[in-house]
């Protein structure tokens, strides 16, 4: 087995990426405090191409040094917007016809391994990821159309937000 060289990976140019088909998903980051996590999510959003990332509240935004360090150029390919308020972003998305889903542990949540049941709603979908300690704010949960939960079998029942985004976006990329 031979490892592929970077020149063999057939990477898209920025222009090719921008015009390529995307998952009809907007990722909303609700008060994510770590710029490194934000940068990592940008890279994931490039790998499993989503429509856009909305950065809300205390969430940092480009050209923040730590975001740029972990994003490795994905801030140039993935569309993004900043909002002072997560509720403001969600209101705009609802008006545009998006279905809003938090990624959180909550009553009545849908297990990630059952997302194929959401297929009719996959078009124009929002996935909200919350603060590293407090998760998605309750006032945001109150306006969501649903909640997706990542099944876990360990003792922590907690994943780093960048890992959570990777797991969830991969599952949507794979199944949809």
pLDDT tens-digit series, residues 113-131:
988 776 655 679 999 999 9
CATH topology of domain 21-175: Alpha/beta knot (3.40.1280)
Strands 146-149 and 110-111: parallel
Q: How far apart are CA 134 and CA 38, in angstroms?
A: 16
More confident position, 6 or 70: 70
Beta strands in the chain, from DSSP E residues, in sequence order:
23-30, 50-56, 80-83, 99-103, 110-111, 125-130, 146-149
Does position 72 have pLDDT exceeding 70, yes or no?
A: yes
For the chain, domain boundaries: 21-175
pTM: predicted TM-score of the whole model, two decimal places: 0.95
């Amino acid at each position: 087995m031979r490892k592929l060289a970077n020149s063999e990976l057939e990477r898209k140019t920025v222009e090719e990426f921008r015009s390529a088909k995307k998952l009809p998903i907007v990722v909303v980051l609700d008060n994510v405090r770590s710029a490194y996590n934000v940068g990592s999510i940008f890279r994931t959003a490039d790998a499993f191409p989503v429509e856009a990332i909305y950065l809300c509240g205390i969430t940092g935004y480009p050209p923040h040094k730590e975001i740029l360090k972990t994003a490795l150029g994905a801030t140039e390919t993935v569309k993004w917007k900043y909002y002072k308020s997560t509720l403001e972003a969600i209101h705009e998305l609802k008006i545009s016809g998006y279905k809003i889903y938090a990624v959180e542990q909550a009553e009545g949540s849908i297990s990630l391994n059952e997302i194929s049941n959401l297929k009719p709603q996959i078009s124009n979908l929002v996935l909200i990821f919350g603060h590293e300690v407090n998760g998605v704010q309750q006032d945001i949960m109150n306006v969501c159309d649903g909640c997706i939960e990542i099944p876990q079998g360990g003792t922590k029942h907690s994943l780093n937000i960048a890992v959570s985004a990777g797991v969830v976006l991969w599952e949507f990329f794979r199944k949809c």
